[in-house]
Amino acid sequence: MIRFSLVMSMVLFYILDAFFPSVNLSVIFNLVAVAVFFAMLPLLELKGRIFTLSLFSIGMMIHFMVGDLGIHLIEGITQNLALLSILILAPLLSVPLRREGVIDTVVVYLNTVKSNPRNTFYGISSFMLTLAPILNMGALRIVHGFVESIQFPSKYLSRSYYVGFTPAVMWSPFFASVGIVLFYLDITYLSYVAVGAFFALMQMALGIFLFRPESVLKEEAAMEGEMEVSVQNIGRKRDIYALIGFVLGLVLLLIVMEQAFQKSMLLLVSIVCIIVPAGWVIVRKKRKLIQEELSLYKSKILSQKMEICLFLSAGLFGNSISHTPVKQLLEQSMQWSATQSIGVLFVFIILFVTLMAFLGVHQIIVIPLILTSLNFAQMPNVAVVSVAFMCIFTWMLSSAISPLNAMNIIISQCVQKNGVTVAFKWNGTYFLSVTIMAFVYIYILSWI
């Protein structure tokens, strides 16, 4: 209970500090974040403890070497709190969906088409595509928990997960890829969402075209008829529309709030993750469920111990690196790439971020270094939104193919195959095709 209270206090201080910034509040905020890190650290596996503690220690050492003392030694530990708070709070959004039976409806549908490979592939991909924008990585665990009993072949299961999940990384404000990039580039979500969403649609279409399983037409027709009767019998067809409407409604709400309050999209997402389930409890008079849901939520938070420690230590480490010559070298490389062509810049970002991802350095460390190294005054031919797209795409690609990143790890665990096989042997064609499409897309953006 102490760990859970510390984590929730940290999130609360993040929100308070955003609305009522003060020196004293920032100091308390930083100290609570440090307390959370050391409270969660013993729960990690040995490799996780060594890795996150190394990031934390090296970050402090670098700060000390550049002359920082006292509270400044942990400067940057809250740098990634905007994103971490979303990962912590996002599971709350699943409460109304689960309690209203919306998710159960989709599971019933998947069970009716499980003997048809093509419809199963479409169903799982669509289910993932709908949940991923609001539940982030949690969508992978939730969807797999529902569909693992269907016994869909591992290869097609991994493909349906990638095809349904990766497009959300390109546009959803609930993802670090979007939130962090827009935050550092200081542009609004509204100015980017059309660029990311349109590419996500093309990405989804390409995945379906490449990976759709073969299916017998007669069997398909029979299953479609069975599905239609089943949906009518259970009287829950409206739930499918409710799920889609819920996601679109959240995005629309965030866009309106961004324009009204002029606050960071990451902050607004965290607030929405609180007010939406709270509003559901009040409107539906479900106060009796609070204690039960709180117990489930507590276990979910503690299961995110690695993410919590990683994001805190990565924030401290990344902040300290910005004071070293590494930052200057990266700035020179970025500026040189930008002066060659937008394609060369894109290649550099992809190679650098992906290499770091394969070495175990998370994108949440590398991408901010890249973004703070750019000088747009010396890049008159490069639009800010194009850089945003390149960084977000690279984040998605490197997360999907690196065996040391959460997305690849979770999907490979779900299908019980190693990350290299899942990413390259089974889905390599998809990622290569999507990358080529991204390069074409970048040049189209530069012409518009």
pLDDT value at position 132? 86
pLDDT value at position 441? 96
> Taking residues 222-248, what's their average pLDDT?
62
The pair of three-digit structure tokens given for residue 52, joined into one six-digit string:
């996150």
* Measured distance CA(119)–CA(152) in Å, rounded: 11
* Measured distance CA(177)–CA(164) in Å, rounded: 16
pLDDT value at position 215? 53
Q: What is the pLDDT of residues 147-157, one digit of tens each?
A: 777 777 888 89
> Taking residues 64-75, what's their average pLDDT?
85
Q: What is the pLDDT of residues 267-309, one digit of tens each?
A: 888 898 899 899 999 988 888 888 888 888 888 888 888 888 8
Diameter of the chain by CA atoms? 74
> Taking residues 196-207, what's their average pLDDT?
95
pLDDT value at position 305? 86
> Taking residues 97-115, what's their average pLDDT?
75
Which residues contact residue 400 at a Cβ distance below 8 angstroms, ignoring those fewer than 6 apart?
Answer: 162, 166, 407, 408, 423, 427, 431
Candidates 186, 189, 190; CA nearest to 178 is: 189
Phi, psi of 264 (to 5 degrees): -60, 140
Q: Across the chain, how many H-helices and E-strands are there?
A: 23, 0
Q: How confident is the model at residue 206 (pLDDT cuts 50, 70, 90)?
A: very high
* Measured distance CA(6)–CA(265) in Å, rounded: 24
Q: How confident is the model at residue 236 (pLDDT cuts 50, 70, 90)?
A: low
pLDDT value at position 219? 44
Q: How confident is the model at residue 444 (pLDDT cuts 50, 70, 90)?
A: very high
Q: What is the mean pLDDT of the chain?
A: 84
* Measured distance CA(32)–CA(123) in Å, rounded: 43
Task: Say yes or no to pLDDT of 209 above 60.
Answer: yes
CA quadruple 244, 208, 363, 417: dihedral positive or negative? positive
For residue 314, CA distances in Å to 12, 55, 203, 291, 362 come to: 21, 6, 30, 33, 8
* Measured distance CA(29)–CA(46) in Å, rounded: 28
Q: pTM for this structure?
A: 0.76
For residue 13, CA distances in Å to 7, 18, 98, 304 come to: 10, 8, 29, 19
